Amino acid sequence: MAKNESTAPALILVVDDEPVMCALMREIMEGGGFAVIEASDGVEACRRYKEHHPDLLLVDIMMPRMDGYELCRELRSRPDGAYVPIVMVTALDDVSSIARAYDAGATDFMSKPVDWAIVNYRVRYILRAEELRRNQERLIAAKEVAEAANRSKSQFLANMSHELRTPLNAIIGFAGMMNACTLGPLDDKYVEYADIIGASGRHLLAIINDILDLAKADADKLSLVEEKVDLVKVVYRASQIVQDMARRARIHFASEIDGPLPKVTGDPAKITQILVNLLTNAIKFSEPGGRVRLKVERAPNQGVAFCVEDTGIGMSADDIKIALEPFGQIDAGLTRRNDGVGLGLPLTKRLIELHGGTMEIESKRGKGTLVTVRLPEERSYVSV
């Protein structure tokens, strides 16, 4: 059983049928700050191990009833002794004896006469290595638990999103029919209400779609439908999508393509989604009269860069970390006045990474934000 060095000394079990050797080992070990218990042969050592669970064993090979080899094999066959450090300390220093000790499961080997000056250092090193192994096991176990929980969460979100989308589509469809007076004329107020119902339903459906995409990304199920992509068309499409939003928010929006762009291998819908998400955020978090600019250029041997710059509220370094977390919400006045649940930026980052790209965010509170998305050169297909 592992001891916490801050509360108790490591416990060493010395196993040797020579009382003088046991006494010397005890004196050296206790002088080094260790606690010591003794056993005169393998049988007694098994019993003492079960009682005390020492942190390390110093074991002679030649002993009555049960020798060091057999003791080592016995402890290694037990779940609680499979990894305990066992150091063979013996006068048998021939190659075959050493090999046999390691085959039996020994951790290390020291020859008699023992170099007492280095015994404590050797033991400390072995105990430190064992603690590192235990820490690694704990980290791996914690990682596996976290991954299992994340998979369960992603599956739950995916199931919930699917179940919610079906009735929402019906609500949006019937609201559209009422708004268009498909089955006959309605009072203007009811037409207005139907429009509000449809707009609210579409907004909620967009959030649910983002949740579903993020759940797929977490479960490594979000895939690309790749083809040769004309980036000029993608930039034009994304700009058209956000143009009306910018106009209603009284934001000056402009897009610019600097020089010829290559065609790239990618998913055109998801690249469009990346740009729309970034531009939507930039417009939402800029005050009326502000500016949002999209610039696209090809850097020699560095792929294609999409730069979205705004004069909005900006973010601190801590804010950026929060914004990149799923459901992260920055507690700022303009942020709270806008719709959203904090999925746009995390999902955008995942979509960029699926393309092998990177996203850099430069921002200061009150000074605006610059987001740079880079698609790697290897995705470039052919120059236009």
pLDDT tens digits, 231-268? 999 999 999 988 988 998 999 999 999 888 889 999 99
pLDDT range class, residue 331, cuts 50, 70, 90: low
Q: Exposed, middle or buried, 151 (CB in 10 Å: 0-12/13-18/19+)? A: middle
Length of the chain: 384
Query: What local confidence, expressed as pLDDT, does residue 342 receive?
Result: 59
- What pairs with residue 58 in β-bridges? 14, 87
219 backbone dihedrals φ, ψ, rounded to 5°: -90, 10
67-76, 104-113, 205-214: range with lowest mean pLDDT: 205-214
CA geometry: angle 333, 339, 343, nearest 5 deg = 105
Question: Token pair 């079960």 is at which residue?
Answer: 50
- Check residue 256 and give its pLDDT: 92
Cα–Cα dist 373/376, whole Å: 10
pTM, full prediction:
0.54
Measured between alpha carbons, how far is 200 from 258 in angstroms, rounded to an integer? 38
- Beta-sheet pairing, 262-266 with 303-310: unpaired
**Continuous segment of H or E residues that includes residue 326:** none
Least confidently predicted of 143-152, 244-253, 305-314: 143-152
What pLDDT sits at residue 222?
Answer: 73
Higher pLDDT, 5 or 27: 27
**What does the pLDDT read at residue 2?**
47
Nearest to residue 53, comparing CAs of 29, 78, 32? 78
- Indicate the SS3 state at residue 132: helix
Angle of CA points 33, 35, 39, to nearest 5°: 140
Contacts of 171 (CB under 8 A, 6+ apart): 197, 201
pLDDT at 372: 94
* C-alpha span between 326 and 309 (Å, rounded): 22
Query: Token pair of 56, please?
Result: 């390390």
pLDDT value, residue 44: 93
Phi, psi dihedral angles at 67 (to 5 degrees): -80, 180
Residue 368: phi and psi, rounded to 5, are 95, 180
Q: What percent of the chain has pLDDT over 70?
A: 90
Mind listing the pLDDT tens digit for each residue in 36-88? Answer: 999 999 999 999 999 999 999 999 988 888 999 999 999 999 988 888 999 98
Confidence of residue 229 (pLDDT cuts 50, 70, 90): very high
Confidence of residue 384 (pLDDT cuts 50, 70, 90): very low
